[in-house]
Amino acid sequence: MSDVQPLRVFPVLLPMWAVEIRTVVLDAQPYEVFDQYVSRAVAGAGLREPARLAAFFGVEVGLIERAVRYLESVGHLRGDGAGVVLTELGRRSVADGCRYVLKEDRQVVYLDGFTCAPLPKSHYAGTEWCDEPSLRLADRTSFHPVTASPAFRVGAIQELADRPDRERFNLPGALTEVEPLEVRQAWLPAYIVECVSGLLVFIKAVDGPDRHLGTIVTPYLTEVLAAEPRVDDVEVWRNWLEAKGFPDARIRRMPNRVLRAGLPAAAFGQAMRWAQLGSFEVRQQTFMQLWCADAAARQHAVLVRAAAIAGAGGVRRRAEVEQRLADLAGQLEVTVPGWDDLYRYAEKMDDRALLDRLDVLAPG
């Protein structure tokens, strides 16, 4: 991100509201042919008694009675003492040529804990929620909960249901009724990056900065994070490198203010993993990129990281792996390796599992 000058990073748990709701939606289904004819006869021919409907269709009354009972059970017909009439649901079904059925369901929707606004549908898939305000990753990264004072607004769910764009926020477009059942606190893991020009928010479900959450949390967190004690980031990383056995490693600040440590190629694959080359280490809210001046070493790191992505099974198409190769090559400032380069790497490493995986990835 060429226009960004990052300063510090904060792993946080953003407060959210998880609301279980009961929904009733209008589900469009194909008509059974005879049910549709019966409904149309009631709507257009004024035939309301089973006997008259049976005479009109030339069938036994029992067949009409069964069809009427079914159409009553799905809310399309109702009796009024003088026969049957179409309900509003039945009239709409006849007009649109499909059988509308009201279906009840339950689901959970999420609203942010700052403004009680709904989260977009894009924030649901791939998001890992926390039920407790604590999270510690395997790499010992600790996420700290952010405190928000606003209480849950009871009318927020109905406001969401009334929105014409509610499908963008994970509510069905064909919604006819909604009722909140239970509200509980939830926590969303996020990284807040403090930059010279403001805050950026990153979560797992969104590729790149989350502009939706960024707009919401910036007014609440800018002053809070600015009050956090600052450390000498160069000193922090010089001490870290010395403890790792690289006291002579050169640390320089890039034009975008990011620190970069130059290490020899021999450091990777031994003291440092290849996957760390070009990646960022985080310590005391500061971060530093591990680097190597040897372009061949950086090219090898691209292949190592791309192989891990391809072998993990999360991608299904060759084009996805090729895109990751291009992204990694840009990050490590080397020529983009081709598919054949990755295949030769797998052969050189005698990685049969990876070779098999590359063989089955669909083209395109």
What is the model's pLDDT at position 364?
A: 61
Mutual orientation of helices 339-348 and 295-311 as an angle, nearest 10°?
Answer: 90
Q: Would you say residue 319 has pLDDT above 70?
A: yes
Q: Would you say residue 135 has pLDDT above 70?
A: yes
Mean pLDDT for 50-61 is: 91
Q: Would you say residue 208 has pLDDT above 80?
A: yes
Judge if 108 and 190 occupy the same domain.
yes
What is the tally of helices (H) and strands (E) in the chain?
Answer: 11, 12
DSSP character at residue 121: G
Q: For residue range 256-290, list pLDDT tens digits in order.
A: 999 999 999 999 998 999 999 999 999 999 999 99
Judge if 38 and 158 occupy the same domain.
no
Judge if 164 and 16 occupy the same domain.
yes
Judge if 115 and 176 occupy the same domain.
yes
- Domain of residue 280, residue span: 233-291
Q: Which of 50, 69, 97 is the last residue of a domain?
A: 97
Judge if 260 and 156 occupy the same domain.
no
CA distance 133 to 312: 30
Judge if 320 and 267 occupy the same domain.
no
DSSP secondary structure string for all residues of 159-182: HHHT-TTGGGGT--TTEEEEEEEE
Q: Give 312's pLDDT tier (boundaries 50, 70, 90).
A: confident
Burial of 2 (0-12, 13-18, 19+ CB in 10 A): exposed
Judged by phi (left if over 0) then psi (alpha if -120 to 50, else beta), residue 333 lies in: left
Q: For residue range 216-254, list pLDDT tens digits in order.
A: 999 999 999 989 999 999 999 999 999 999 999 999 999
Judge if 127 and 165 occupy the same domain.
yes
Q: Would you say residue 180 has pLDDT above 80?
A: yes
Q: Is residue 225 included in any domain, yes or no?
A: no
Q: Would you say residue 313 has pLDDT above 80?
A: no
Q: Would you say residue 362 has pLDDT above 80?
A: no
Q: Which of 196, 214, 243 is the last residue of a domain?
A: 196
Helix spans in the chain (H): 33-44, 50-57, 61-73, 88-96, 156-161, 211-226, 233-243, 295-311, 318-331, 339-348, 352-360
Q: Which of 168, 74, 79, 166 is CA-nearest to residue 122?
A: 168
What is the model's pLDDT at position 276?
A: 95
Q: Would you say residue 2 has pLDDT above 80?
A: no
Judge if 287 and 299 occupy the same domain.
no
**Number of domain units in the chain:** 4
Q: Which of 97, 114, 141 is the last residue of a domain?
A: 97
Q: Is residue 47 included in any domain, yes or no?
A: yes
Q: Is residue 245 included in any domain, yes or no?
A: yes
Judge if 11 and 144 occupy the same domain.
yes
Judge if 11 and 160 occupy the same domain.
yes
Judge if 19 and 122 occupy the same domain.
yes
Q: Are 121 and 169 in contact (CB under 8 A)?
A: yes
Q: Is residue 157 included in any domain, yes or no?
A: yes
CATH of the domain at 54: 1.10.10.10
Q: Give 304's pLDDT tier (boundaries 50, 70, 90).
A: very high
Q: Is residue 40 included in any domain, yes or no?
A: yes
Q: Is residue 218 included in any domain, yes or no?
A: no
What is the model's pLDDT at position 183?
A: 95
Q: Is residue 213 included in any domain, yes or no?
A: no
Q: Is residue 345 included in any domain, yes or no?
A: yes
Q: Would you say residue 149 has pLDDT above 80?
A: no
Judge if 114 and 192 occupy the same domain.
yes
